[in-house]
Amino acid sequence: MTAVVLATACALVYGTADFFGGLATRRSQVMAVVVLSQLAGLVLVAALLPVLPGELTAGGLVWGMAAGVSGGVALVLFYRALATGVMSVVAPVTATTSAALPVLFGLAAGERPEPVALGGVALALLAVVLVSRDSSPAAARRGYGPVLSALAAGAGFGGFFILLDQAPDGGGMWPLFGARLASVALITLLALATGRTLRPGAGTMWTIVVAGVLDMAANVLFLLATERGMLALVGVLASLYPASTLLLARYVLGERLNTVQVVGIGCTLAAVAMIAVA
């Protein structure tokens, strides 16, 4: 039950972080948003090292850094898709892919959830497909570019979940510190190599910082959840974050939800309940 609570909270925080990140990319360069938000997250995880102590090992840092590279590239693609596409489509498409990969990996690695939990996983995957359905003219005008970026981002996020789960137990926040250090270095080098500015747009700095802090907080919740539960379950619960992104987009930006998307949000709640009782 603890793992379910942590993973569900992780999804809520991830969704809120993505909402703020999406807002920032509409007024700032994607590279600037990613680097500055990742720096904010690095400061947070550094502050948490003495609060949530663990053993510093080479394995923990290496797996964390590998996860950071995967997640950093995914974040660039994801924020670019959010900036050019419809937020209520991009987030669920990314989540569908990022949810499926940890489930498949966990099952291949020998994890065997209870039948009710597996039913919840299937329902959760259906939920993210349903909430990704958008027939609005705005979605049609943007074409398939943002969707393809969202799919690639989902693969990167799925890789982040899998690689981070490989870090040895007892490492505390060190794997996340390694992950964030690697992603900051990678994206900074990419920005410098391509001549992209790292200066945020006017009035966006606080939005970027909030996105970075929330993203790292969600990562912490995910790491704690995987220490207490199976990756196949935690990964799919964490990938339900589009529900909170959708609701924020609906009530803050005025993006409308169609009937299918509302059903998808209902399926999300049912999926969490099924996994929780298993």
CA torsion 215-221-223-224 (nearest 10°) is: 170
Query: Which parts of the chain sit beneath pLDDT 50?
Result: none
- How confident is the model at residue 13, as a pLDDT? 94
For the chain, how many helices (H) and strands (E)?
Answer: 12, 0
Question: How many C-beta neighbours within 10 Å does residue 48 have?
Answer: 17
Nearest Cα to 74, choosing from 18, 130, 139, 142?
18
Model confidence pLDDT, tens digit, residues 61-101: 999 999 999 988 888 888 778 777 666 667 667 777 787 78
**What's the pTM value of the predicted model, to 2 decimals?**
0.80
At 72, the amino acid letter reads G
Domains in the chain, number: 1
Domain ranges, residue 39: 2-277
Which residue type, as a one-letter code, is found at position 228?
A: R
